[in-house]
Structure 1
Amino acid sequence: MELNNNPIRDEELETAIALVPKKEASKKEEDYDPHKHRNVAHPTSNFDTLAHLLKGCLGTGILAMHEAFRNAGWLNGLISMALIGFVCTYCFQILIKAQYALCKKHRRPILSYPESMKLALEQGPAALKWIAPSAVIVTDGFLIIYQLGVCICYIVFVAANVQLIVKEFYQFYDIKYIMLWIFIPMLAINCIKNLKILAPFSTAANAITFVGLGLVLYYVFDDLPSLSERPAFGPIESYPLYFGTVLFALEAVGVFIALEANMEKPKNFVSKFGVLNSGMTIVTILYGFVGFFGYLKYGEKSKDSITLSLPAGLVPIITQGLFTFAIFISYALQCYVPISIIWENYCSDEMKKSNHSDKYLLILRLLTTIFTFIIAAAVPHLGLFISLFGAFCLSILGLGFPAIMEICVLWPDKFGKLNWHLWKDIALVIFAFAGLTSGTFASMKDIIATFSTDASEVAKTFTNATIEQS
């Protein structure tokens, strides 16, 4: 018998043998559907998920849209709202799809955002792999900063509206004193560990928000000025503030991931006419509507929240009270996320397993509440905080990281014709970092200027009081 010693044939045979495990692994990966292995106790329907999505987006952001349009101009605001809404929705799409691909590859029913980021970087280009070990901490850090930022915005909103209500009946009180008044109630509600207790209040807060929004629009449409009185384009240096505010309003990354994870039919979340596209279309149109007409009504006299621009009277006071109560309830829900991340991931096992674990958790809740109140009292201006946290955190969490994750998941040879996915994702990353730097810089510049002005006014008041006493 003649043996075949052809080296070319031998190499082909070795290559074929080497490909067998890869093919088997690929087949196993294709056979595994993460959605079928999720164990969700109470899965939500498409309608329930849409309702939760709208709830997650309709917070203080929509009440600041008129202020955002003041920074952009009415025409630029409308065009940019549509473009940013489209980009945000698309980035949510690629984030959810990338997470699904990672779950499928690693045979995991579900992955958190930080875990997904770490696993994606580990399989991505060599230039990004070095970031993988710190991916969880970095992602958690941005999530914590963003959620604490939302809590700070809620404190400023509640205090500013309480101040306006109190002013109608009693003498004027500085907003910092108002914050001292509301500290104990907000600490008390933040100490509630069981979210089920807050559920009825949260449902009521949703209804109150829509009623309050209807009342606000009633005053907005009363005696609207001519469109010619408002500039179509605002100053270019103010545009980053618009960008940050809109991102803060539209982006709810953590909420969206949680919603998709708890759906009865998760594939319907990112389908063509699914929950995400439908919900974001409604939200974007609603934000553009409120922002456009709110700016048309109040123009350069716009205040941080549209509720602060309402005229004096009983009905406006009721409207402000409704929104104040709704946001007050939501403070505990927003604080729940950063507290959970810190407690679960960054507190020692000794603390969590200790007999005094409840006390340690209570201390964490107390420190979180104190921290948010200190920052809110330092610069009590809602619009500046909304723009800052939107630009700093959500440019990365909602735009940059999803694009990077998709690059890693598709690496090295799944980018499509002419590698268009790669170039598109690189453009998104550049756009995200440009928004982060310009928006953060503009917001910090305004915060420093405002802080200096406030400090000067306090010093002037103190000097006048000293002179009078002398």
Structure 2
Amino acid sequence: MDEKGESVHLQAVSDPAESSSPIPAKEDSDEDYDPHLHRQLPKPTNNMETLVHLLKCSLGTGILAMPQAFARAGLVTGIIATVLVGVLVTHCLHVLVRAQYAACKRRRVPQLSYPEAAASALGGGPAALRRAARPAALAVDVFLVVYQLGICCVYIVFIADNIKKVVDPYYDMDVEVHMLIILGPLIAFNLIPSLKMLAPFSALANVMTFVGLGIIVYYLLAGKKPEAQGEALDLWGSAETFPLFFGTVLFALTAVGVVIALENNMKTPKAFGSPCGVLNTGMTIIVILYVAVGAIGYIFCVSKCSDSITLDLPKGDPLATSVIVMFAVAIFISYCLHCYVPVEVLWRGYVLPRVQRSAPARRRLCEFALRVALCLLTFVLAAAVPRLGLFISLFGALCLSALGICFPALMELCVNFPRRASAARSVLFGKDILLFIIGIVGLVAGTYTALVSIVRSFQPVAEEVPRA
């Protein structure tokens, strides 16, 4: 992601303490106020730039995990379910953008971040939900921070797994050792305070990602993985592993942390959610890519799919090795960009107000300490549970079910809370309640299944020790 894309990302988070005021009752006077016309943007993005940012935010480690997701769901079920989840996610993103616009209109402000929009929407909803306005903003911040740190954990595991695949023929070391080796460079890179300094590295990461994907597709179309020769494809999967598939697809498809920020930073924001606008176009491309990589990757590997498709490329092949190295470098750079987000949320919203009166040197030291602490936290979590695929499923189900489905449904219900009931609004409320239930079921089932699978993944190791 380039500097502009990442700076847009950071607009999606804010201090919940500033966003808990209820929506004023101005239903009659807000009709003449269009938030889009009052936005003052120094460097707004055009439609194509916004589309590129949306694609970049959604094309990361998630797409490399899609073949394993299909192995858990079955080929036919995986294709159908990915399309359906894509439609669900796209609809919920539209709901989120509309609810944010309605909240801006009622408060008569040009734009709001996700936490601010959530607090404002609930503050103008049913009386039972108005008390939840401030907790809702805090919850959005918590889920955003947990999700971004979860991505960083996934990235550490991904980098270590792929480096291990490259160097194993020469030095066979545990994956945790590789994590420890990259920890120092990660901390040093994460101490860079300016996104402007990271912009050239981000551009390099973009090139590596797209070139690497092209080469991976070439390998997947060339034939089957040797270990999968003669193995029959599972077309329908099982209900037991489907929640893991759901969490992985949510993690892969949902760019909820940046959607409001992207729309807020557009030169023509009305084009974002139009029928043939940026969101629908981008999500269509993303779903097609994910279905294609998931399906052909599963046909290539069958049940022998690794957590990342890069780990299934031929060993010793120079071109395959170059792809692994490219993705490892690209994800290394992306780690620092993603870790920048929770640093900004925690620093500006929670730490800086407590050290504001300190000397500049002390403030800078506190900021560096926060950056190092978050980096160490993600390292400890990744080393404790070095299971890339299960990490992806866990954070997808836990955070994105809430951020991508539950909160948008609640926000739409609240901003359309009727002073005069109507049949159309009753249908809308029924739909939002159904979406909220789907999100809760996905959160609970996906999180539970991922946690159980993580525990089970360690059991064979524990059982082998006594036998030895």
Q: TM-score, normalised by structure 1?
A: 0.90
Residue 388 of structure 2 is matched in structure 1 by 382
- Give, in whole Å, the separation in 2 of the partners of 1:89 and 1:441: 25
Residue 455 of structure 2 is matched in structure 1 by 448
Q: How many residue pairs are counted as aligned between the two chains?
A: 437
Q: Deviations over 1:241-294 (max 9, x none)?
A: 000000000011111121111111111111110000000000001000000000
- Give, in whole Å, the separation in 1 of the partners of 2:80 and 2:146: 29
1:150-189 mapped onto 2 (5 Å cutoff): 150-168=151-169, 170-189=170-189
Q: What is the letter of the counterpart of residue 96 of structure 1?
A: V
Most deviating of 413-422 and 310-319: 413-422
Of the candidates 362, 367, 371, which is equivalent to residue 361 of structure 1? 367
Deviation at 1:354, TM superposition (A): 2.3
Residue 333 of structure 1 is matched in structure 2 by 337
- Give, in whole Å, the separation in 2 of the partners of 1:398 and 1:129: 21
Of the candidates 388, 399, 409, which is equivalent to residue 405 of structure 2? 399
1:273-292 mapped onto 2 (5 Å cutoff): 273-292=276-295
Deviation at 1:171, TM superposition (A): 2.2
The structure-2 alpha-carbon separation of the partners of 1:350 and 1:274, relative to structure 1 and needing over 3 Å to count, comes to same
The structure-2 alpha-carbon separation of the partners of 1:228 and 1:340, relative to structure 1 and needing over 3 Å to count, comes to same
Residue 213 of structure 1 is matched in structure 2 by 213
- Give, in whole Å, the separation in 2 of the partners of 1:257 and 1:33: 16
- Give, in whole Å, the separation in 1 of the partners of 2:460 and 2:122: 45
Deviation at 1:71, TM superposition (A): 0.5
- Give, in whole Å, the separation in 1 of the partners of 2:442 and 2:383: 27
Provide the secondary structure at the position in 2 that maps to 1:70: helix
Of the candidates 365, 370, 373, which is equivalent to residue 379 of structure 2? 373
Residue 417 of structure 2 is matched in structure 1 by 411
Residue 302 of structure 1 is matched in structure 2 by 305
Deviation at 1:451, TM superposition (A): 3.2
Cα pair 1:379 1:451 within 8 Å, conserved:
no
- Give, in whole Å, the separation in 1 of the partners of 2:168 and 2:243: 33
Residue 323 of structure 1 pairs with residue 327 of structure 2: yes
Residue 96 of structure 1 is matched in structure 2 by 97
- Give, in whole Å, the separation in 1 of the partners of 2:123 and 2:354: 31
Cα pair 1:227 1:296 within 8 Å, conserved:
no
Residue 262 of structure 1 is matched in structure 2 by 265
Residue 135 of structure 2 is matched in structure 1 by 134
- Give, in whole Å, the separation in 2 of the partners of 1:227 and 1:142: 44
Provide the secondary structure at the position in 2 that maps to 1:44: coil
Most deviating of 62-71 and 257-266: 257-266
Residue 44 of structure 2 is matched in structure 1 by 43
Instruction: Tell me which structure has the larger Cα radius of gyration.
Output: 1
- Give, in whole Å, the separation in 2 of the partners of 1:260 and 1:31: 21
Cα pair 1:73 1:232 within 8 Å, conserved:
yes
Deviation at 1:28, TM superposition (A): 3.4
Residue 10 of structure 1 is matched in structure 2 by none
Cα pair 2:249 2:396 within 8 Å, conserved:
yes
Gap regions ≥5 residues in structure 2: 1-24
- Give, in whole Å, the separation in 1 of the partners of 2:423 and 2:144: 32
Residue 430 of structure 1 pairs with residue 437 of structure 2: yes
Q: Sequence identity of aligned pairs in percent?
A: 48
Deviation at 1:348, TM superposition (A): 4.7
Cα pair 1:66 1:295 within 8 Å, conserved:
yes
Cα pair 2:416 2:425 within 8 Å, conserved:
no
- Give, in whole Å, the separation in 1 of the partners of 2:319 and 2:119: 51
- Give, in whole Å, the separation in 2 of the partners of 1:78 and 1:146: 26
- Give, in whole Å, the separation in 1 of the partners of 2:245 and 2:92: 19
Cα pair 1:73 1:231 within 8 Å, conserved:
yes
Q: What is the letter of the counterpart of residue 116 of structure 1?
A: A
Q: What is the alpha-carbon root mean square deviation over aligned residues?
A: 1.8
Deviation at 1:129, TM superposition (A): 2.2
Q: What is the letter of the counterpart of residue 199 of structure 1?
A: A
Deviation at 1:341, TM superposition (A): 0.8
Residue 18 of structure 1 is matched in structure 2 by none
Deviation at 1:417, TM superposition (A): 2.3
- Give, in whole Å, the separation in 2 of the partners of 1:393 and 1:26: 33
Residue 439 of structure 1 is matched in structure 2 by 446
Residue 5 of structure 1 is matched in structure 2 by none
Residue 31 of structure 2 is matched in structure 1 by 30
1:8-19 mapped onto 2 (5 Å cutoff): none
Deviation at 1:228, TM superposition (A): 8.8
Residue 70 of structure 1 is matched in structure 2 by 71
- Give, in whole Å, the separation in 2 of the partners of 1:372 and 1:93: 32
Provide the secondary structure at the position in 2 that maps to 1:347: helix
Deviation at 1:416, TM superposition (A): 5.1
Provide the secondary structure at the position in 2 that maps to 1:221: helix
- Give, in whole Å, the separation in 1 of the partners of 2:425 and 2:377: 50
Cα pair 1:88 1:398 within 8 Å, conserved:
yes
Deviation at 1:229, TM superposition (A): 2.1
Cα pair 1:378 1:451 within 8 Å, conserved:
no
Residue 19 of structure 2 is matched in structure 1 by none
- Give, in whole Å, the separation in 2 of the partners of 1:358 and 1:64: 38
Deviation at 1:391, TM superposition (A): 0.3
Most deviating of 350-359 and 224-233: 224-233
Cα pair 2:75 2:295 within 8 Å, conserved:
yes
The structure-2 alpha-carbon separation of the partners of 1:415 and 1:146, relative to structure 1 and needing over 3 Å to count, comes to farther
Deviation at 1:25, TM superposition (A): 4.3
Provide the secondary structure at the position in 1 that maps to 2:355: helix
Residue 237 of structure 1 pairs with residue 237 of structure 2: no
The structure-2 alpha-carbon separation of the partners of 1:198 and 1:414, relative to structure 1 and needing over 3 Å to count, comes to farther
The structure-2 alpha-carbon separation of the partners of 1:423 and 1:25, relative to structure 1 and needing over 3 Å to count, comes to closer
Deviation at 1:26, TM superposition (A): 4.2
Deviation at 1:208, TM superposition (A): 0.8
Gap regions ≥5 residues in structure 1: 1-23, 465-470
Q: Deviations over 1:2-50 (max 9, x none)?
A: xxxxxxxxxxxxxxxxxxxxxx944531222211222211110100000
Q: TM-score, normalised by structure 2?
A: 0.90
- Give, in whole Å, the separation in 1 of the partners of 2:230 and 2:90: 30
